[in-house]
Structures are given as structure tokens and as C-alpha cells.
A and B are shown apart, each in its own frame.
Chain A
């Protein structure tokens, strides 16, 4: 597990006490030498109960404000326990479409 992956996991664990948490390093799906560039989060937490999707994402963006300066992409999928119960999976991330990867 990469350092950044572990860092993201610990931060989310501590802040949101998720009942389900996946921090997936998807950097290999993308070109370039950086192996810590693309991550995907699946966070299931009842902390999200009263928050709209955009506010859940804003919360995580804020939590990782500094990290987002280094990470190229952070896909996030945020659910309450009840929502997760119904779906049990998150959408796949896209492959790079080519062109600029900067």
C-alpha cells in the first residue's frame, strides 16, 4: 500500500468513522511515472446523512485540500449506510482519455 493511500485511509477513518471504506490507488490506469496520482474513495458513513452529495464532496475536498495539490485525481463516492445497503458498489472510474495527463 502506498504512503498516500495509507494517509488518505487514516484521515478518513479518523474523521468520518466509516462503516465501509475503500481507498483504491488507480494510478496504474493512467500514463505517466507517478504511481500516486489517481485515487478513488468509497466512503460509507452516517455522518453524510444530512448532507447533499455536493456537500459530502466539499467536506472531503476540504479535508484533503493540501493533498489535492499533489494528487491528480480523487474520485469519490459517498454513501450513508442505508444507501450502501441498497447498492453495495460504486461506479467504476474512467480510463484516461488520452491527451494531456498533466
Chain B
């Protein structure tokens, strides 16, 4: 399977997927750390991919998404944004609802 298919499979495999540097427990970049913390703070479960453990994904995800930076967050296979967008959503109070909605949609697929 080529790497773009593999990424597609990853984003399809869970309602919420975070691509980050490191893991939520051991983040290796401040922006990734904050995105993971913010998602965690909602109490809604999410999947993550440590891009440092998969060089191929690391190199090709920007092309896949037409988005040049990390972290990246996907709801139901669709890029929602990078770290700044997740923070803004949390600040205006729409993040938790959007995550719950993504989970519900995924479960009803």
C-alpha cells in the first residue's frame, strides 16, 4: 500500500485522529503538546499518530492534507486544522461539541 493510502486508512480508522510529534504522554514539540492537552481536556477519546515513529507519514502528510505543518487534527477523515485552530475552538467553547459530534457520526457510519 502506498503511503497516501496508508494515511487515508489512518484518518478513516477513528473519529478523531491527531498527528503529532511524540505522544500525548511524551510530546516532543510545544505545539503538539498543547494540541494533545487541549483534546484530552474535553474528556472525549481520540487516536493519535506519532509522526516521529513513521518517517514516511511525516514526509507525506503535508502533501496529503495540503497543510504544511504539525500537529494536524482530523475529524471523520477531514482536516479540522493545526494546533492554533484547536486552541481557538476550545476557547470559544465549540471543541468538545465538535468532537462529540464526530464520534457520533463515526459510530453511525
Where the two chains meet, the residues of A that have a C-beta atom closer than 8 Å to any C-beta of B are 53-54, 57-58, 61, 65, 68, 73-77, 91, 93-100
Where the two chains meet, the residues of B that have a C-beta atom closer than 8 Å to any C-beta of A are 21-22, 26-34, 52, 66-69, 79-85, 87-89, 91
Q: Are A57 and B27 in contact (CB under 8 A)?
A: no
Q: Are A100 and B30 in contact (CB under 8 A)?
A: no
29 A-B pairs (CB sep. < 8 Å)? A53-B81, A54-B79, A57-B85, A58-B66, A61-B67, A61-B68, A61-B69, A68-B68, A73-B31, A75-B31, A76-B84, A77-B88, A91-B87, A91-B88, A91-B91, A93-B30, A94-B31, A95-B30, A96-B30, A97-B22, A97-B29, A97-B30, A97-B32, A97-B33, A99-B21, A99-B28, A99-B29, A100-B28, A100-B29
Closest residue of B by beta carbon distance from A29: B30
Q: Are A57 and B84 in contact (CB under 8 A)?
A: yes
Q: Are A54 and B85 in contact (CB under 8 A)?
A: yes
Q: Are A73 and B88 in contact (CB under 8 A)?
A: no
Docked pose: A97 CA to B31 CA in angstroms: 8
Q: Are B68 and A54 in contact (CB under 8 A)?
A: no
Q: Are A53 and B85 in contact (CB under 8 A)?
A: yes
